[in-house]
Structure 1
Amino acid sequence: MARLASTHWMMLAFAINPVSAYADECMQEKAVYVDMDNAYELRFEPMGSESAVSNRFKLAVRNTAVVADGVVMRSDDQLRADGRIMFECPEGDVTGADLRACTVWQGMVYASDLTGHIRALPAEGENAADRLFLPALGPSIQKSSLWGEGKATVAPWDVLSLKGCYQ
């Protein structure tokens, strides 16, 4: 009977907090995150080459065909991760004005474990963070070209939780 009770509590703990099991098994470049309302999915992708960009991801607005591109660039000391989300940017030679017009959000990307310890976003090959914090993501989306009829109509929370890992 005691064994059944402890199994019950373990199952309850994993149901309440299922992401801790994923982070130890998932590399950052294959991590998938969702916001609290499950309206957005942020999916990292492997880089596959050397560049100034340390991480790449897609931000999908759930229940629409809208997908924005995201990149993360590390500071010289590797302690900070500057992120940018862009939507419908022009191809080829673009000006600074073109980039500003298609930038949905720009800011620091913070990683967190389940206890709230904040750190820099893990690099490729490192275990995925349990949570991501993108300050002012929701308000930025509301003021961008990503917002409107047929696009995003729900502003995401600034914290996204690890949903899982794709192969």
Structure 2
Amino acid sequence: MMTKLASTPLVTLAWAVAPVAVQAEECAQEKAVYVDMDNAYELRFEPMGSESSVSNRFKLAVRNTNIVADGIVMRTDDHLRADGRIMFECPEGDVTGADLRACTVWQGMVYASDLKGHIRALPAEGESAADRLFLPALGPSIQKSSLWGKGKATVAPWDVLSLKGCNQ
């Protein structure tokens, strides 16, 4: 009896993890969709469609609201790191540095991880999607931003987002 009970969580864990690994191999990064542990946020990558200093583009939606923030990722010169930025309600056209700082919700390195916890740079467009993303201090940054408050985000996300699916 004890053996059967002890093995049940392992079987359940293996079943829960296996679909994610298959999806990551079959999904290109520009089509990947991620969620935080509480399913309060969804991060959805979009194809770039043109040459640019921006290597990846995404939307961060606050679930159960109409709030959607824009995100970009730019590779460092050595292409080993991915510098990300999430912005909310930024002005259009000719903007100043102060304008950009005011609408920036989060800025930092975007790290990718496999299911074993091996960290690497965010995959480029056309590469297999990462199993997980790590955006250091995402939750605290959102709580201090214009994205936070009544009628907006009221739950801080975890800094790790897991692959949920793939846009077709």
Equivalent in the alignment of 1:5: none
- Note if 1:70 corresponds to 2:71: yes
1: CA distance, partners of 2:40 / 2:11: 29
The reply to whether residue 128 of structure 1 matches residue 129 of structure 2 is yes
SS in structure 2 at match of 1:119: strand
Equivalent residue, structure 2, for 1:19: 20
Q: In angstroms, what is the RMSD of aligned CA positions?
A: 1.3
Q: Which residue of 2 aligns with 1:6?
A: none
CA distance in structure 2 between the partners assigned to 1:10 and 1:18 by the alignment: 13
Structure 1: give runs of 5+ residues left out of the alignment: 1-8
Displacement, 1:10?
6.8
Structure 2 match to 1:47: 48
Q: Supply the distance in 1 between the matched residues of 2:92 and 2:77 (Cα, whole angstroms).
A: 28
d(CA) in 2 for partners of 1:45 and 1:76? 22
1:142–1:12 distance in 2 versus 1, CA, 3 Å = closer
With the length of structure 1 as denominator, give the TM-score of the two structures.
0.92
Residue equivalent to 1:117:
118
Residues in 1 aligned to 2:74 and 2:129: alpha-carbon distance in whole angstroms: 17
How far the C-alpha of 1:14 sits from its partner, in A, is 2.3
How far is the alpha carbon of 1:16 from its aligned partner?
A: 4.6
Q: 1:73 to 1:40 in 2, by over 3 A?
A: same
Secondary structure in 1 aligned to 2:23?
A: helix
Query: Which residue does the alignment assign to 2:62?
Result: 61
- Secondary structure of 2:48's aligned partner: coil
Superposed displacement of residue 76, structure 1? 0.9
Question: Secondary structure of 2:22's match?
Answer: helix
Is 1:144 matched up with 2:148?
Answer: no
**Sequence identity (%):** 87
Structure 1, residues 18-63: CA drift from partner, whole Å, max 9, x if none?
A: 3111101000000000000000000000000000000000000000
Change (3 A) 1:133 1:12: closer
| Counterpart check, 1:102 vs 2:108 | no
Give how far 1:11 is off.
7.4
Q: Distance in 1 between matches of 2:12 and 2:142?
A: 37
Number of aligned positions between the proteins: 159
